[in-house]
Amino acid sequence: MVRIRLTRVGKKGQPSYRVVVVDSRKKRDGAYIENIGYYDPLVEPAKIKVKEDRALYWLSQGAQPSQSVRQLFTKQGIMKRFVENQHKSPQKHGEDLAMGGV
């Protein structure tokens, strides 16, 4: 299963995190598939930067966000956009052909 989770970087006592797409069986700081952003909790307010298009792509491919990443995505509005995209009714193949065939 593919997950979207945080991997820790930074010095001891000064954590910052990368938002990465990773196989769920890998270690926390192990090899990842793609780096899609970062999160710095020490600055006020916390600095969050995520490539929204890549996050939406991986969510649509079935990647499961960790609880902490889900909260970050909710703050950024990414989860709301993902849910809205999921609830849009896709056009049926027959309707598409009927419109283009004329």
At 98 the pLDDT is 58
| Structural domains counted in the chain | 1
- Residues whose CB falls within 8 Å of the CB of residue 77, separated by 6 or more in sequence, listed in order: none
Contact (Cβ atoms closer than 8 angstroms) between residue 7 and residue 66: no
Closest CA to 9 of 28, 23, 34, 22: 28
At 91 the pLDDT is 63
Q: Name the residue type at position 81.
A: R
Domain hosting residue 71, numbered range: 2-100
Q: Tokens at residue 34, please?
A: 């793609």
Domain of 15: which CATH number? 3.30.1320.10
Mean pLDDT of 29-58: 92
At 85 the pLDDT is 84
**pLDDT, tens only, 47-93:** 999 999 999 999 999 999 999 999 999 999 988 999 888 877 566 55
At 97 the pLDDT is 56
